[in-house]
Amino acid sequence: MSTIASEPSTLDWAKVDLQTCPAVRVPPPGPKSNEYHRRCTRYLKGLSGQVKLFPVTFDSGKGCVLTDVDGNRYIDFSSGIYVTTLGHCHPKVSEAVAKYARRLMNAHDFTTPVKTMLLEKLAEVMPGDFGGFQFYDAGTAAVEAGMRVLRAATGRNEMLSCFNDFHGKTYGAVSLAQISSPVYGRVRMPGAHMVPRPDAYRPLWEKADGTIDTDRYIAFYDEYIQKGTTGDVAGFVLEPIQGWGGSVMPPDDFFPKLRKYCDEKNILLMADEVLTSWGRTGKWLCMEHWGVTPDVVSIGKGFGNGFPVTCVAVREPYKECFESISASSSYGGNPMACAAALASTEVIEEENLLDHALRLGQIAQTRMEKMKAEHPIIGDIRAKGCLMGIELVEDRSTKAPLKEAGVLVYQLDFCPFSGR
């Protein structure tokens, strides 16, 4: 099979010198950051909470190191927003995008060699019997397309999703999550239902021995479908690990039981893996950790290492459903996007990054356990590969969130490198 040609990539290309990074030369945000941010926000509105808490202006990145316009250097623990899995500006990915930016930028959904190579690579590395794929430019577009596949495959309309999941910002995707904005009229799309999911740190139902009772959750789903829906459920859509909800990881027996239940009730299972896929947790798909193959899966973020490319993958029996859902898009599968996704996939293979992510997760979890033992405000730590969470609480017995400490995570006022 043909691949993206480039110089061999190695893990050494962007090693971090901890003697020189982090390095805060000017208390951030510095004067240049402030000036750019002032000019930018004269026009740009609707910024994320992180930017409002720490309005720095970034200039460049290499590996996991970011440099702002004032020359301050930071370790990027957020990977952009879970996207630069391989590090900022990985040479193989950058060269692949540049090649097609010079050669062919868009051909709608016509066949191109690089798209063909990417499809063949996906069929090779994906677990289970995934045999149909479509490409998009945003996670929410992939989720919406996945929902259309669920409806086309079943002839049904209703959807189940979970409290505190996040699936995107278009109406259908928002309807699968918690609506808090009046622009949607505070009304979900017809047929959208939400149910609780197991949270080992904050369980709704426990057994007598104090362990989480996953059977009770499944039983509740069955009762809710009978009494809270019209019985027209097409699919159950949920994140393998909740991102926006706080890196909430399910008990190991939950997804195998949910897969079995969905099969018994003839409901399709869709995993929204925009955040959790493509190496982040040490597997191509996070669902592999539990030996479960969903019927539909959305892939994104690290898929193109920061380039806007996402994917919907469906199992072989349902791939023809793409024919009936108007599956193509203006930018999905453009040559630059396919080159970025193919190069990223090859780098993960060449550098054995799936195993590397698992090793890093073990190292980080050991370090976080030590932190938890030393700091009472840490209520819980959790990690699956390089997807991790630290829960900050006022009191471990009440588990009340310590929101003030969470805010400080995004600021440098308390950081020893700031000189304050």
Residue 131 φ then ψ, to 5°: -135, 0
Q: Which two tokens stand for residue 111?
A: 């066949």
Could you give the percent of the chain with pLDDT greater than 90? 84
Give the largest CA-CA distance in the chain. Answer: 64
Kindly tell me if the per-residue pLDDT of 413 is higher than 70: no
pLDDT number for residue 214: 97
Reported as a single tens digit per residue, the pLDDT across 28-55 is 999 999 999 999 999 999 998 889 999 9
pLDDT number for residue 185: 60
> Where do the CATH 3.90.1150.10 domains begin and end in the chain?
352-420
For residue 385, the Cα-to-chain-centroid distance in whole angstroms is 13
> Quick one: 108 exposed, middle or buried, by C-beta within 10 A (0-12, 13-18, 19+)?
exposed
Place of tokens 């391989």: 86
pLDDT number for residue 3: 60
Q: Which two tokens stand for residue 148?
A: 């259309």
Report the C-alpha gap between 306 and 94 in whole angstroms: 10
pLDDT number for residue 416: 47
For residue 377, the Cα-to-chain-centroid distance in whole angstroms is 26
Q: Which two tokens stand for residue 7?
A: 């110089």
Report the C-alpha gap between 310 and 237 in whole angstroms: 17
Report the C-alpha gap between 231 and 250 in whole angstroms: 26
Choose the weakest-confidence range: 220-229, 241-250, 308-317: 241-250
Mean pLDDT on 267-289: 97
Mean pLDDT on 323-351: 96
Compare 61 and 183 and report the one with higher pLDDT: 61
If we measure between CA atoms, which residue out of 78, 28, 33, 18 comes closest to residue 413? 28
The CATH number for 352-420, chosen from 3.40.50.300, 3.90.930.12, 3.90.1150.10, 3.30.360.10, is 3.90.1150.10
Q: Which two tokens stand for residue 342?
A: 């193919």
Report the C-alpha gap between 113 and 116 in whole angstroms: 5
Residue 287 · residue 255 · CB < 8 Å: yes
Say how many residues make up the chain: 420
Compare 183 and 90 and report the one with higher pLDDT: 90
pLDDT number for residue 187: 75
Kindly tell me if the per-residue pLDDT of 200 is higher than 70: yes
Q: Which two tokens stand for residue 115?
A: 């798209």
Kindly tell me if the per-residue pLDDT of 181 is higher than 70: no
Mean pLDDT for all residues in the chain: 92
282: region left, alpha or beta (phi > 0 left; psi from -120 to 50 alpha): left
Domain 127-329 falls under CATH 3.40.640.10: yes
Residue type, 88: H
pLDDT number for residue 412: 61
pLDDT number for residue 212: 95
Mean pLDDT on 269-288: 97
Q: At 243, is the secondary structure helix, strand, or coil?
A: coil
Residue 65 · residue 76 · CB < 8 Å: yes
CB atoms within 10 A of CB 309: 29
Residue 45 φ then ψ, to 5°: -120, 170
